[in-house]
Homo-oligomer: A and B are copies of this chain.
Amino acid sequence: MTKPFRIALAGLGTVGVGVVKILQEHHDLIAARAGRPIEIVAVNAKTKGRDRGVDLSSYEWVDDCQDMAGRNDIDAVVEMIGGSDGVAADLVRGALENSLHVVTANKALVAHHGYALAQVAEKNNVGLAYEAAVAGGVPIIKSLREGFSANEIKSVYGILNGTCNYILTEMRETGRDFDDVLKEAQEHGYAEADPTFDVEGIDAGHKLCLLSAIAFGVPPDFDSLSITGISHLTSTDIDFARELGYRIKLLGVAKQMGNGVMRSVEPCLVPKDSQLGVVEGVFNAVLVDGDYVDKGLAVGRGAGEGPTASAVVADIIDLARGTIVPTFGRPVSQLGVPSWADLGETVSRYYLRINVLDKPGVIAKISGILRGLDISIESFIQHGRDPDQPVCVVLTLHDVLCGAMEKAYKAIEELDIVLEKPCLMRIEAL
Contact = CB atoms under 8 A, between A and B. Distances in A.
Contacts of A324: 322
A26 B152 contact: yes
Kindly report how many copies of this chain are found in the complex they form together: 2
A185 B313 CA distance: 44
Interface stretch (A141-149, A186-194, A410-418): A141-149
B35 A331 contact: yes
A298 to B, nearest CB: 5
Contacts of A299: 275, 296-299
B297 A298 contact: yes
Nearest to A288: B300
Contact of A326 (B35, B142, B326): B35
A100 B317 CA distance: 25
A26 B142 contact: no
B150 A309 contact: yes
A149 B314 contact: yes
Contact of A313 (B150, B326, B331): B150
B143 A292 contact: no
A364 interface: no
A127 to B, nearest CB: 11
Interface string A191-230: 0000000000000000000000000010000000000000
Interface string A286-298: 0000111111111
Contacts of A275: 299
A244 interface: no
Mostly helix, strand, loop or mixed at chain A's interface?
Answer: mixed
A166 B131 CA distance: 34
A294 B326 contact: no
Interface string A219-250: 00000000000000000000000000000000
A298 B301 contact: no
Contact of A137 (B1, B291, B294): B294
A63 B148 CA distance: 32
A33 interface: yes
A141 to B, nearest CB: 9
A310 B148 CA distance: 7
Contacts of A149: 30, 33-34, 313-314, 317-318
Contacts of A43: none
